[in-house]
């Protein structure tokens, strides 16, 4: 048997043993795709196990994250920081080999995957980031940045809308360093692919501007490696369609039964015998040596790149300097942003944000992002920065098209490529389209900013389908997400700080309408999540806690009560940040023995009750309001001084 075949046999045995030992996993893809991914690792993927994060490495996104057993086996064989013992702990709590690949858990993993389709869009983001770097820093004789982004997908990934959106955009942008490795086994959990999908995939990708390579023998290493070699030379993004047999070599090969099937010890023994593998959890020395040759090649390539970079530093000192400084966040001066945008106080938050964003981008080059076809409306656009496109890779504003979901996963990918400050934007009502990608972002703690504008029922005339009522609660429910709903520019920039300085994913809810100047707002207060705005009496009768545009209303309501009772107003742009504060601070802001703590927000988010304690009352919106002028809608929902005053009075009266 030749050494390649032997290596792949041992790889298959490793994957199968890993799954059987765990009693859980996905055998089908782990066997069926072994030749594809072995070819990729052995001959193409540029990596250095001694420095897995170096800038110009190739990126591999395992979008079909359920191929994790195969992936971990490959990482082990090719010298990453994983051992055979780790494979034995597959899918066990606290192991380095979780059920699906997780960022920051396993070395070499570029992105957490599992929910299908997400990885395709992540890879598109990485390829965009590469294109940006390539354009900025390469010069004659110096391809300082030229890495490929490989994305491994199955039939399931390609059915997901988020993937289709991303593929369409990648074709339009002609991201030539992007290569999709499509494990086309034509079997899904439900059975044969043809029961749900009878597309001509090659023709479809071609229609979207991709190059297509077909490999009929996708279970043969030689065909696989040559196809990848061809793809690397393309001028367009490329999909390689590997026809494979799911669960190849097992009794149930080619059927859905093997998708998430697990072999018994007996079946495993027979399977291993067919592969001429006698040992358990074992890599023979000749196979290990074969893999180590690749590992050494990767290390050497990295060294060559370092040498090239050293040369570049002398021949192109300016470019080199700017490359070294490119991702530096220390130079970011939020105070200056505050100062420069203070003149827009009193404008709508979306407009204020436009200026803040442009100021930020002026200070540092690593800001990039865009909107889902609502640029003129959400205003999340960097001034004078151009549009990133097929023809202009220096543009910083990305037109994502009406593709909210892919947009969100793509910005994840941009920020994962390297330390970009990525942002995206749509209307708050359509944040729901983005939730699955937001969840992955927050799970990975990728610090991206999402600017969701038109953030309350005050959107008015577009009607209920455009009224964001449940979205604030849905966003705040995502573990690890920080929501900022600022009432002015100071609070907005505090949200920026949360993302840029604290490296936390941050979603903003920004008003479409103007919010008048509010006395007493504070950047430092907003950094604490919430703070006392008005009165600041130590023992108020009533505390009104509000966010965003409702802060203005809260201040007006408090004024109504002047002389009668003491009303404190708290501006709370972020519940999540406020929650993290000390009890002493929280008690100072929210007086515990007040007769009433009223939360004022045009949402139906009950998280307020948790943050503000048992006595709090929620003044929110609990049903859709019809379509009408903003004023009509806001009045109907009872968000007027008169209505709120009446509500407080009734609550106080009820206590007597």
Catalytic residues: 404
Give yes or no for residue 647 binding a copy of itself (CB under 8 A): no
Cβ-based burial of 374 (10 A; exposed 0-12, middle 13-18, buried ≥19): buried
Q: Which is nearer to a copy of itself, 143 or 373 (CB)?
A: 373
The contact mask relative to a copy of itself for 508-547 (x = CB under 8 A, - = no) is: ----------------------------------------
Residue pair 177/147 in contact by the 8 Å Cβ criterion:
yes
Site string for a copy of itself, 110-139 (x = CB under 8 A): --xxxxxx----------------------
Find the shortest distance in angstroms from Cβ 502 to a copy of itself: 18
For the segment 60-79, give every residue that binds a copy of itself (CB under 8 A).
65
Among residues 387, 513, 535, 537, the one that binds a copy of itself under rule CB under 8 A:
387
Contact between 100 and a copy of itself by CB under 8 A: the answer reads: yes
Least CB distance to a copy of itself at residue 607 (A):
5
Q: Is 59 in the site for a copy of itself (CB under 8 A)?
A: no
464 is an interface residue for a copy of itself by CB under 8 A: yes
Given a contact cutoff of 8 angstroms between Cβ atoms, the answer to whether 551 and 579 are in contact is no
Stretch that binds a copy of itself, among 8-16, 141-149, 463-471, 564-572 (CB under 8 A): 463-471
Name which position in 106, 188, 238, 456 contacts a copy of itself (CB under 8 A). Answer: 188
Contact 529, 572 (CB under 8 A): yes
Task: Among 403, 441, 490, 512, indicate the residue that binds a copy of itself (CB under 8 A).
Answer: 403
Quick check: 107 binds a copy of itself (CB under 8 A)?
no
> Contact, 382 vs 358, CB < 8 A?
yes
Q: Residue 628, interface with a copy of itself (CB under 8 A)?
A: yes
Question: Can residue 155 be called a binding residue for a copy of itself (CB under 8 A)?
Answer: yes
Considering only residues 241 to 280 of the shown chain, the ones binding a copy of itself according to CB under 8 A are 256, 260
Smallest gap from residue 3 Cβ to a copy of itself (A): 34
* DSSP reduced 3-state for 246: coil
**H/E element, 221:** helix 221-231
End-to-end CA distance of the chain: 90
- Phi and psi angles of residue 507, each rounded to the nearest 5 degrees, phi first: -110, 135
Task: Encode 11-39 in three state secondary structure.
Answer: HHHHHHHHHHHHCCCCHHHHHHCHHHHHH
Residue 195, interface with a copy of itself (CB under 8 A)?
yes
Nearer to a copy of itself, 207 or 324 (CB): 207
The most distant pair of C-alpha atoms in the chain lies apart, rounded to whole Å, by 93
Distance CA 576, CA 531 (A): 13
Six-digit token string for 564: 């009668």
Least CB distance to a copy of itself at residue 467 (A):
9
Q: How far, in Å, CA of 400 to CA of 425, rounded? A: 10
Minimum CB separation from a copy of itself for residue 258, in Å?
12
The CA distance from 346 to 340, in Å, is 14
- DSSP per-residue codes, 44-92: I----TTSTT-TT--EEEESSGGGHHHHHHHHHHTTSS--HHHHHTTT-
Q: Select from 313, 340, 604, 640 the one that contacts a copy of itself (CB under 8 A).
A: 604
Q: Say if strands 187-188 and 191-192 run parallel, antiparallel, or are unpaired.
A: antiparallel
Residue 94 binds to a copy of itself (criterion: CB under 8 A): yes
Q: Of 559 and 636, which CB lies nearer to a copy of itself in the complex structure?
A: 636
Phi, psi of 246 (to 5 degrees): -65, 140
Using rule CB under 8 A, residue 477 touches a copy of itself: yes
**Residue number, 436 or 573, with CB nearest to a copy of itself:** 436
- Bridge partner list, 150: 60, 179
Part of the chain binding a copy of itself (CB under 8 A), chosen from 323-331, 357-365, 395-403, 562-570 = 395-403
Q: State which of residues 276, 461, 502, 587 lies at the interface with a copy of itself (CB under 8 A).
A: 461
Tokens 């929110």 identify what position? 620
Query: In the complex with a copy of itself, which residue's Cβ is closer, 380 or 510?
Result: 380
Count of residues binding a copy of itself (CB under 8 A)? 115
């Amino acid at each position: 048997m030749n050494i390649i075949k032997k290596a792949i046999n041992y790889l298959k045995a490793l994957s199968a043993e890993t799954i059987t030992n765990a009693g859980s996993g996905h055998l089908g893809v782990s066997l069926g795709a072994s030749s594809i991914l072995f070819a990729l690792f052995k001959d193409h993927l540029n990596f250095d196990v001694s420095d897995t994060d170096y800038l110009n490495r190739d990126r591999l996104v395992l979008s079909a994250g359920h191929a994790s057993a195969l992936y971990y086996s490959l990482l082990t064989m090719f010298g990453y920081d994983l051992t055979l013992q780790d494979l034995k702990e597959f899918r066990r709590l606290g192991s380095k080999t979780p059920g699906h690949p997780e960022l920051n858990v396993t070395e070499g993993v570029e992105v957490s995957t599992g929910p299908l389709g997400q990885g395709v869009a992540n890879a598109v983001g990485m390829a965009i980031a590469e294109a940006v770097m390539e354009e900025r820093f390469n010069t004659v004789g110096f391809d300082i940045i030229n890495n490929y982004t490989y994305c491994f997908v199955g039939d399931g990934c390609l059915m997901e809308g988020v993937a289709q959106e991303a593929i369409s955009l990648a074709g339009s942008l002609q991201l030539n360093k992007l290569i999709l490795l499509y494990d086309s086994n034509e079997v899904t959990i439900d059975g044969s692919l043809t029961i749900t999908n009878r597309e001509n995939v090659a023709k479809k990708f071609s229609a979207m501007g991709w190059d297509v390579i077909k490999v009929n023998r996708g279970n043969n290493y030689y065909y696989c490696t040559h196809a990848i070699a061809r793809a690397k030379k393309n001028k367009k993004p490329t999909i390689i369609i590997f026809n494979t047999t799911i669960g190849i070599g097992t009794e149930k090969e080619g059927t859905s039964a093997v998708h998430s099937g697990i072999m018994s010890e007996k079946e495993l023994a027979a399977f291993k015998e067919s592969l001429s593998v006698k040992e358990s959890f074992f890599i023979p020395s000749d196979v290990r040596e074969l893999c180590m040759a690749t590992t050494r090649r990767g290390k050497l390539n990295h060294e060559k790149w370092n040498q090239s970079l050293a040369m570049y530093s002398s021949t192109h000192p300016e470019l080199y300097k700017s490359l070294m400084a490119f991702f530096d966040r220390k130079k970011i001066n939020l105070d200056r942003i505050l100062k420069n945008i203070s003149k827009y106080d009193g404008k709508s938050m979306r407009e204020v944000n436009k200026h803040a964003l442009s100021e930020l981008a002026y200070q540092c080059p690593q800001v990039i992002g865009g909107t889902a076809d609502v640029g003129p409306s959400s205003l999340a656009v960097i001034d004078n920065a151009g549009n990133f496109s097929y023809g202009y890779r220096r543009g910083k504003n990305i037109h994502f098209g009406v593709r909210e979901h892919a947009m969100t996963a793509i910005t994840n990918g941009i920020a994962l490529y390297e330390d970009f400050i990525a942002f995206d934007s749509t209307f708050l009502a359509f944040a729901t389209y983005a939730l699955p990608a937001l969840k992955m972002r927050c799970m990975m703690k990728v610090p991206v900013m999402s600017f969701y504008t038109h953030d309350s029922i005050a959107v008015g005339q577009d009607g209920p389908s455009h009224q964001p009522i449940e979205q604030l609660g849905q966003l705040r429910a995502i573990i690890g997400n920080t929501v900022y709903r600022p009432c002015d520019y100071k609070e907005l920039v505090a949200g920026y700080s949360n993302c840029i300085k604290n490296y936390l994913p941050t979603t903003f809810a920004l008003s479409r309408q103007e919010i008048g100047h509010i006395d007493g707002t504070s950047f430092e207060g907003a950094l604490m999540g919430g703070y006392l705005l008005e009165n600041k009496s130590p023992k108020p009768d009533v505390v009104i806690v509000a966010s965003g545009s409702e802060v203005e209303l809260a201040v007006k309501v408090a004024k109504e009560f002047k002389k009668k009772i003491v009303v404190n107003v708290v501006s709370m742009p972020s519940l999540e940040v406020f929650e993290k504060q000390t009890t002493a601070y929280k008690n100072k802001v929210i007086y515990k023995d007040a007769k009433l703590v009223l939360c004022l927000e045009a949402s139906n988010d009950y998280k307020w009750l948790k943050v503000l304690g048992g006595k709090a009352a929620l003044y929110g919106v609990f049903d859709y309001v019809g379509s009408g002028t903003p004023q009509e809608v806001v009045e109907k929902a009872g968000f007027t001084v008169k209505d709120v005053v009446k509500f407080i009075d009734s609550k106080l009266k009820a206590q007597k």
